[in-house]
Structure 1
Amino acid sequence: MAEGLIVKAVSGFYYIYDQGDIYQCRARGLFRKKKIKPLVGDMVEYDAPNKEEGYLLQIRDRKNELTRPPAANIDQAFIIFSARQPSFSTAMLDRFLVHMEALDIYPVIIVNKEDLAGEDLQQELTYYQKTYEKMGYSFHLVSGITEAGVQKLQDYISDRVSMVTGESGVGKTTLLNLIIPSLHLETAEVSERLGRGKHTTKHLQLIPCRNGFIADTPGFSSLEFEQLDEEDLDICFPEMKERMPSCKFRGCTHRKEPGCAVKQAVEDGDIASFRYEHYTQFFEELAQRRRY
């Protein structure tokens, strides 16, 4: 019996990485009986007499689990947006960040195509950069996914399991091609009519890189809060989580209660108003989902 990492799952076969070699395995029937589905990113025990005829025997405990895309044990995510084509959206970014916080995944924010932004938009992006950095996030403005820009990200990649995500057509696949030139992954142009790109990634795969692994993931057009309840939403906003102990009432939802430290911080300008607006929008979305 040996140990390895599932780096790809296709048509009932699981491809396990073990010290530089890949073993093709099937899952034992007990996984199906127990309704356990092995995921890309799972650390597993397996038995393989050769590289083509192995069996997956056991899955180690997971650090986290994603449903879309289906993956496990992700350490960090490069969340890529563009300044224009498609336009940058703080609401969409905050949706991604809430998901990352809920799953304990470290986010690295990259806003591409800064060179397409006019002076007013560049000032706006600089404001957003300072705002998110104040919360403790890594936020990078780049004028294109280039080799020079990728060099700045190399330290993030080392010794971690990372994924590249974001809306379609913003440069995810281009970033991966520069990080690992031998991949030659397919890219697609942004649709001028729709303002968004085509999905170029067909399946999830972890790729060895700098003593870690990195995955390309299909682009998202929307994100639903499937694994989160409204009472846990505030801890997914770091600037709110920091102030929660100072609220007058335990279980404060930071919406209508008096003596709320979060609302006071918004009034004082210590919490960005757009972040608070997104919090209240997401809260109502989650509450409505539970009602129905």
Structure 2
Amino acid sequence: MIEGIIIKGIGGFYYIRTQDGIIQCRARGIFREENLIPLVGDRVRIRISQEDNTGYIEEIFERKSQLLRPPVANVTQAIIVMSVKKPNISTWLLDRFLLMAEYEKLEIIICINKADLAPDKTEDIKTIYKNAGYKVISTSSKANMGIEELSTALKNNISVFAGPSGAGKSSLLNKVNPEFKLVTGEVSNKTKRGKHTTRHIELLNLEENTYVLDSPGFSSLNIDFIEEEIEVRDYFREIHKYGEHCKFLSCLHDKEPNCEVKKQVELGNINNSRYVNYLQFLEEIKNIRRY
């Protein structure tokens, strides 16, 4: 048997990258009995049939991480791509992506794309999120901006590219490696939203030990995976940081007195739009748990 990584799964077939090339495999029935579904990103051991050079997945190694959407395993890093224009950036949506990535304990890089279309706005957004504790890269596939910095950040990681349709994820990946030849789409003039161009989940091999995942775009994220509203404060880095100085350990930074987080919002050390989004997510989780 040989080892490899699942790079794609379509119609019950899994495509495994091995030292001997890409092998088409099926999964053993025992995985269904164990309610274990092979995922893109899984490290596996396979047995190859000498008759037709196809194989069967015999073992799935323990996962280091597992995302719900897109359903992938062993991702180490999230590259959250948001266009500053066409479509216009939504910090509410960006904070939602960040919350999901923080929940999964991934390394995070924010990529403000199409930065050449609105340089001043890009710098304003970068300042907000750098102050919150994130690495932020300005990029533009058309202006060839930030591509080298992005490429360097991808090395020795399995990185998922997340963000809404039209943000330019596929265009950036084509710049990082022109051999990918991913299909890209224009933003609809009517809806001002991007058209879905990525049809399935696939790990793209950039270089040794370096993979990227171009995931289908989506414009909203369900956060019902969060069990308690108190968890939300841990997924906003600057709120978690200042919240440690609150009078009450259970402070939700909402209506409690002597709240250090609210004080820092007033002082401008926590961005007000980030705080407003935090309160909205907090209320959302409260309502989910209520029912």
Which bin holds the TM-score, normalised by the shorter protein?
over 0.9
TM superposition shift of 1:148: 4.9
What letter is aligned with 1:136?
Answer: G
Partner of 1:208: 205
Q: TM-score, with normalisation over the residues of structure 1? A: 0.92
Alignment: residue pair count: 288
Partner of 1:37: 37
Find the residue that maps to 1:226 and give its secondary structure: coil
TM superposition shift of 1:143: 4.4
Alpha-carbon distance change, 143 to 177 in structure 1, aligned in 2, over 3 angstroms: closer
Q: Is the 8 A contact 1:112 1:145 kept in 2?
A: no
Partner of 2:170: 173
Residue-by-residue CA offset, 1:44-93 (whole Å, 9 max, x unaligned): 22222357421112222222211221111111122111122111111111
TM superposition shift of 1:41: 0.8
Alpha-carbon distance change, 103 to 179 in structure 1, aligned in 2, over 3 angstroms: same
Mapping for residues 209-248 of structure 1, pairs under 5 Å? 209-211=206-208, 212-229=210-227, 230-248=229-247
Q: Is the 8 A contact 2:3 2:18 kept in 1?
A: yes
Q: Is the 8 A contact 1:161 1:214 kept in 2?
A: yes
Residue-by-residue CA offset, 1:92-149 (whole Å, 9 max, x unaligned): 11001001110012222122223333xxxx4343222112112221212334455453
Alpha-carbon distance change, 213 to 143 in structure 1, aligned in 2, over 3 angstroms: closer
Find the residue that maps to 1:153 and give its secondary structure: helix
TM superposition shift of 1:200: 0.5
Q: Is the 8 A contact 2:137 2:146 kept in 1?
A: no
Q: TM-score, with normalisation over the residues of structure 2? A: 0.93
TM superposition shift of 1:31: 1.0
Find the residue that maps to 1:164 and give its secondary structure: strand
Partner of 2:266: 267
Partner of 2:68: 67
Alpha-carbon separation, structure 1, partners of 2:69 and 2:267: 38
Say yes or no: does 1:286 pair with 2:285.
yes
- Given candidates 179, 182, 191, the residue that maps to 1:182 is 179
Alpha-carbon distance change, 8 to 161 in structure 1, aligned in 2, over 3 angstroms: same
Mapping for residues 9-24 of structure 1, pairs under 5 Å? 9-19=9-19, 21-24=21-24
Structure 1 unaligned runs (5+)? Answer: none
Residue-by-residue CA offset, 1:201-251 (whole Å, 9 max, x unaligned): 110110111321011111111111132132211111111222233222222
Mapping for residues 79-228 of structure 1, pairs under 5 Å? 79-117=80-118, 122-211=119-208, 212-228=210-226
Partner of 2:253: 254
Find the residue that maps to 2:137 and give its secondary structure: strand
TM superposition shift of 1:169: 1.2
Alpha-carbon separation, structure 2, partners of 1:79 and 1:180: 18
- Mean Cα displacement is larger for which, 149-158 or 92-101? 149-158
- Mean Cα displacement is larger for which, 179-188 or 95-104? 179-188
Alpha-carbon separation, structure 1, partners of 2:225 and 2:75: 16
Alpha-carbon separation, structure 2, partners of 1:52 and 1:196: 44
- Mean Cα displacement is larger for which, 104-113 or 6-15? 104-113
Q: Is the 8 A contact 2:13 2:25 kept in 1?
A: yes
Moved over 3 A (4+): 49-52, 122-125, 142-148
What letter is aligned with 1:111?
Answer: I
Alpha-carbon distance change, 27 to 86 in structure 1, aligned in 2, over 3 angstroms: same
Output the aligned Cα RMSD: 1.8
TM superposition shift of 1:281: 0.1
What letter is aligned with 2:273?
Answer: F
Find the residue that maps to 2:46 and give its secondary structure: strand
